[in-house]
Amino acid sequence: MLLAKQLTIDDLVGMMQGDAPAVDRLGIPKYHYGYEALHGLIAGCPFLDRCFTSFPCSSASAAAFNRSLWHKIGSAQIDEVRGMYNSQQPMTPLGTDPLIGLHVRGPQLNPQRDPRWGRNDNSPGEDAYLEGQYGAWIVLGGQGADENGHYGYGERRKAICEMKHFDAYSVEDGRNGASDTFDISLRDLVDYYFVPLKTCIDVADVGAFMCSYNAINGTPTCGDQWLNVDVVRNTWNFTGVIESDCGAISGIQSHGNANSQEGAAVAAVKATVDVECDSAYKNNLAKAENKGEVDRAALEAAVARVFTGRMQIGQFDPEGAKLPWDALTSDVVFSKKHQQVALEGAQQSVVLLRNPPASLSQAAHLPLKRGLNVAVVGPNGNAADVFQGQYHGGNCPDAHPAAPFNPTYDYDCLPTAFTAISSANIGGNTSYHNGCSLSPSPSDGSGHPEGQPCASLMDIDAVLDAVKVADVVLLFLGLDIKMTNKEGQDRPHDWTGYALPGMQQELARRIALTNIPTVVVEVSGMATGMDFIAQQHNWPLVIAGYGGRFGPEALAGILFGDFSPTGRLPYTIYPEAWANNTEMTDMALTAGDGRTYKWYNGEAPIPFIFGEGMTYTTFNTTMTASGRNSFQVSVTNTGKIAAAQTLMLFARPVSVPEAPSPLPNRQLFDFARTHTLPPGGSETLHFAVDDSAVALVDWAGSRKVYAGSYEIEFFAGEKTPAATATFTVSNTVILSTIPSPRSIV
């Protein structure tokens, strides 16, 4: 690129910074790479009357299994970024600094390999195919393509989305240090860890990705030429920008793969990392180039990729050049349209896992009738912050314009589950009783710097007195976003970290002894062990992910039947013993009792498996085949309540003699969702199934369709398929290979 050749060495290094300075003599403005939008822009409130829209966290949105919804969320959150960028509106009401970049970090697509990872809530579930589909449609919406993957203006983009973190990042404790290195087989890399980014490249032409803190098989990802050059750029044909995670280039030295920060910077350049969130490039690249340790040509190539992205978003356009997103203004921030998208996302994220029949004695049944005496109990029943999840922006605008603006992250203006339920329970009485606290005082003696979550029951006699006079108990349990897990902090690595923290299940036991009808609502962003809850078959069970700004409102509407739940569980809830048998830092999918529905091999039955979920109605599902590769599934609402139905297609190997052992239990390869069907309404879903649907990966990392017989399973939210079909492959065919790894550097 000619522009890069006109830059001095110092200029080139400057363009590789997260905060790239202006080069006035060439008309190059300054540019920022650090904006984050995983479920809405992470920033304080830019106006005195509104903030950026908070959408459901990825783990919640994924439960919708709805590509159209994901596209709308991706588009809406980037519309707000683009509108602020176009308007050059200061990012705070009394400030002067506008948004000066359109490279936006997100989506986060590290599969929920282990439910004890501290950042699971911002990843869309345990399944690699689901992760890739979610990420691709978030990117398509964010970068300006339509739902069919078509970019209508050539190489032009509304923004550049940056998938993170590549790759196999799913441990917080000890991250970016010598212990943050993991041995992973080529089979697991290709079959699982690589899938989300490759899908985003193939389907959505994602413009950037972030290399991660950890090392894979001895080499830190930000210094891994095999990973970034041989695989991603040369095999997958990725031409966009690679940015380091913050401090990850310096981390190459911490890992022991470089003797100095300068050596770490050189290693990252050779691995084609174009932009640093670090100081290693700034401090070292000019002198490294002067000493001949890095070629100017490598710096020019990196900056050319950087400038290509900046040109794609129109930064160097002449005056008067206009594309549709150039008309967006800051008026789009928290617009009515975006509020509706956020509400729909929250509604579709709620998963109903169990709903005993209304005729069952001493059992609650959903939906609830209004006008009841409702006791809301539990640590998440009156918490506003928990629905926001990690990586959220401000929610409550400053109420005092005369005072210096504080981009507050307070939650005073937000509803809680209790306040939303109280408003929905018209004509009834709703009370709240904590039972225990997920965020106690640090003086509890636990040794945890912030206290021990739910270490003891609180005012239990008063809680039980309220329960005994209630018509129904809504028991809100789960995790939070500050105490139980967060960025930089995993849940404890044994079973105590996987199970509901502290005394929450003991609180449930006490309530069970009252025999008052009870509904459990588990609020979290990841799988959580709940053996006692799973055994209470007369208790309805609702999984409410971190639903964002409208999470409480959506949940209350579902509990009282304003609309039906339609979500599907995006992860597997294992028995609690799974955590004792499965080492968190072992990245193998078959380690211990096995990871995900695909590889679980434990002795204890799974309480709730990936893909489960109910509605308030019933459906009749009929599958017919047209030839070998075409299937039509007719869905009819045979109940009394309007709802949508989701079909998930899995391939299960039955007899595949040449395939590598072990074989997966089954693997997801497609899904579709009907429109909302009224009682008696029908819709036919069409599925095309080719041989790649049954492909498996061997230990050399080759993806192959093996000769043999398979079963195509059509799941509709239950533990057993609604329909099946036999699928036979005559000859083994290689679909793809990857280059052999290089030596460790």
The two three-digit tokens of residue 382, written as one number: 């009156």
Nearest to 240 by CA among 100, 139, 98: 139
Is the model's pLDDT at 443 over the cut of 60? no
Nearest to 18 by CA among 306, 394, 296: 306
Residue 536's SS3 state is coil
The pTM of the whole model exceeds 0.75? yes
What share of the chain in percent tops pLDDT 90? 84
| Mean pLDDT within 545-550 | 96
Tell me how far apart the alpha carbons of residues 86 and 1 are, in angstroms, rounded to a whole number.
26
Instruction: Report how far apart, in Å, the C-alpha atoms of 698 and of each of 118, 653, 695, 734 are.
Output: 31, 14, 10, 10
| Mean pLDDT within 186-215 | 98
pLDDT in tens, 111-170: 999 999 999 999 999 999 999 999 999 999 999 999 999 999 999 999 999 999 999 999
Q: Exposed (0-12), middle (13-18) or buried (19+): which is 601, by Cβ within 10 Å?
A: exposed
Tell me how far apart the alpha carbons of residues 456 and 452 are, in angstroms, rounded to a whole number.
9
Q: Would you place residue 9 in the very low, low, confident or very high pLDDT band (cuts 50, 70, 90)?
A: very high
| Mean pLDDT within 244-270 | 97
Spatial CB neighbours of 162, under 8 Å, sequence gap ≥ 6 = 103, 104, 105, 106, 206, 207, 208, 209, 210, 241, 243
| Mean pLDDT within 197-222 | 98
Nearest to 68 by CA among 166, 116, 140, 160: 140
Q: Would you place residue 492 in the very low, low, confident or very high pLDDT band (cuts 50, 70, 90)?
A: confident
Q: Any idea which fold 341-599 has?
A: Rossmann fold (3.40.50)
Say which CATH class 619-736 falls into. mainly beta
The two three-digit tokens of residue 345, written as one number: 């996302």
Shared fold status for 341-599 and 619-736 = no
Q: Would you place residue 350 in the very low, low, confident or very high pLDDT band (cuts 50, 70, 90)?
A: very high
Is the model's pLDDT at 403 over the cut of 50? no
The two three-digit tokens of residue 340, written as one number: 């509706």
Which DSSP string corresponds to 268-332?
A: HHHTT--BBSSSHHHHHHHHHHHTTSS-HHHHHHHHHHHHHHHHHTTTTPPTT---GGGG--GGG
- Which sequence spans correspond to the domains of the chain? 341-599, 619-736
Q: Would you place residue 446 in the very low, low, confident or very high pLDDT band (cuts 50, 70, 90)?
A: very low
Tell me how far apart the alpha carbons of residues 570 and 610 are, in angstroms, rounded to a whole number.
5
Please report where in the chains the tokens 């911490």 appear, as a residue.
254
More confident residue, 493 or 368: 368
- Say what the pLDDT of residue 398 is: 64
Do residues 123 and 60 lie in contact, with contact meaning Cβ atoms separated by under 8 Å? no
Measured on CA atoms in the order 524, 527, 530, 533, is the torsion positive or negative? positive
Q: Can you give 32-66 as a three-state secondary structure string?
A: ECCEEECCCECCCCCCCCCCCCCCCCHHHHHHHCC
| Mean pLDDT within 454-459 | 91
Tell me how far apart the alpha carbons of residues 488 and 481 are, in angstroms, rounded to a whole number.
12
Is the model's pLDDT at 445 over the cut of 70? no
Query: How many other C-beta atoms are found inside a 10 Å radius of the C-beta of residue 6?
Result: 12
Nearest to 159 by CA among 240, 52, 82, 99: 82
pLDDT in tens, 68-127: 999 999 999 999 999 999 999 888 776 678 889 999 999 999 999 999 999 999 999 999
Average pLDDT, the chain: 93
Residue 238's SS3 state is coil
Q: Would you place residue 451 in the very low, low, confident or very high pLDDT band (cuts 50, 70, 90)?
A: low
Tell me how far apart the alpha carbons of residues 408 and 732 are, in angstroms, rounded to a whole number.
59
Spatial CB neighbours of 743, under 8 Å, sequence gap ≥ 6 = none
Give Rg (Cα) of the chain. Answer: 26
